[in-house]
Amino acid sequence: MSFFIEMLLKVLFLFSIIPFLLSEKLQKKYDVRINPQVEYTIFSGPQKIRQIEERFMDETSGMAISQKYPGRIFVHNDSNGTPEIYVLDTLGQYLGSINLEGVQNRDWEDMAIGPGPVPGRSYLYIGDIGDNFSKHEELIVYRIPEPKDLDLKEKLSIVPEKIILIYPDGSKDAETMLVDPLSGDLYVLSKRDASNTLYKVDADQLINGDTVTLEKVMQLPITLSVGGDISADGTQIVIKNYWVVYYWTRNPGESLAETLQRQPKLLPYEPEPQGEAIAFTPDGQAYYTLSEKKLRVEPVLYRYDKVLKTD
């Protein structure tokens, strides 16, 4: 039975991306604004950086941009991929990879960068949080410090920390994970419910080898969330689904939940066949997106720059 359900989901997805491909053609040919609510005064429209031709990066799901090496982009594949983080430069050129020793890629769906156990160091968080059929009792978050050396002449290999998370209300699928750079708290956002649910684990509970029950925080008026990020200074938040990039700005002293309670703005987004990866640059002045390969449509790295204000 599960085979037929999986095939049905694939067929439904096939039909669901046709409007995105059509909208891309219309927008490029006629300069049509498919969604008039999109704000073009905050970030510009997309700049195509490079088509990703490396065949081993055809199911990119998570992305983070290095805070230690601002010209480096970390990405990873999703379900049943190798347990590796691939490193690109900001022109989309492949530079090498980081192997996570002793773990598997069950369904890595998102990656975040933020603080960790050692003050002043930045850490990569890899979320093994995907669960298409809601059959796993636990989520897994792997954590590694940003490498001290990223010349990648030889493949790096690192043993990650491993933190087990459990939902308080049963298994579910998720593809969005955020780490708050101000508090260090980690958030997971569900995907398949009509109003996606935000869950949280406090920074001091993120201990290697521990199992932690997530705290249910709130529901958002978003469905099918597939990725998100928080800028390094904590003031900008993006969450995307297959159609839209939602954007919030955070006021001083606000918690993430307080910020997300406000109505988001919609940012420019180039239609992608299955776009799941999004990340801010360390200065918060741009964000990148990257899709999986679908229907022979090659993934493209896009950049969106903040619009300069003029008086």
Q: Where are the domains of the chain?
A: 35-305
Encoding tokens for residue 305? 């720059």
35-305 is classed CATH 2.120.10? yes
Identity at 78, one-letter amino acid code = D
User: Residue-wise pLDDT tens for the chain (311 aa)?
Assistant: 444 554 565 555 555 544 444 444 444 443 444 455 788 889 998 999 999 989 888 889 999 999 999 899 999 998 888 999 999 999 999 999 999 999 999 999 999 999 999 999 999 999 999 998 888 989 999 999 999 888 777 778 999 999 999 999 999 999 999 999 999 999 999 999 999 999 999 999 999 999 999 999 999 999 999 999 999 999 999 999 998 999 999 999 999 999 999 999 999 998 888 888 999 999 999 999 999 887 777 899 999 999 976 44
CB 211 within 8 A of CB 222: no
State residue 8's pLDDT score: 60
Encoding tokens for residue 41? 């005064």
State residue 21's pLDDT score: 47
**Which residue in 205, 230, 226 sits closest to 215, CA to CA?**
205
Encoding tokens for residue 202? 């406090």
State residue 34's pLDDT score: 45
Identity at 175, one-letter amino acid code = E
User: For the chain, how many residues are written?
Assistant: 311
State residue 35's pLDDT score: 53
What H or E segment, with its residue span, contains residue 309? none
**Which residue in 130, 202, 222 sits closest to 171, CA to CA?**
130
Question: Under 8 Å CB-to-CB from 70, ≥6 apart: which residues?
Answer: 281, 282, 283
DSSP 38-67: B-TTTB---EEEEE---GGGSSEEEEEE-S
Encoding tokens for residue 23? 């909208």
292/109 Cα distance (integer angstroms): 12
142/287 Cα distance (integer angstroms): 24
Encoding tokens for residue 195? 């109003």
The CA distances from residue 259 to 221, 237, 249, 266, 284, in Å, are 14, 9, 7, 15, 17
Provide the 3-class DSSP secondary structure of residue 177.
strand
State residue 11's pLDDT score: 56
State residue 4's pLDDT score: 59
Q: Categorise residue 147: left if φ over 0, alpha if ψ from -120 to 50, beta otherwise.
A: beta
283/226 Cα distance (integer angstroms): 23
State residue 7's pLDDT score: 55
Pseudo-torsion of CA 259, 112, 212, 239, nearest 10°?
40
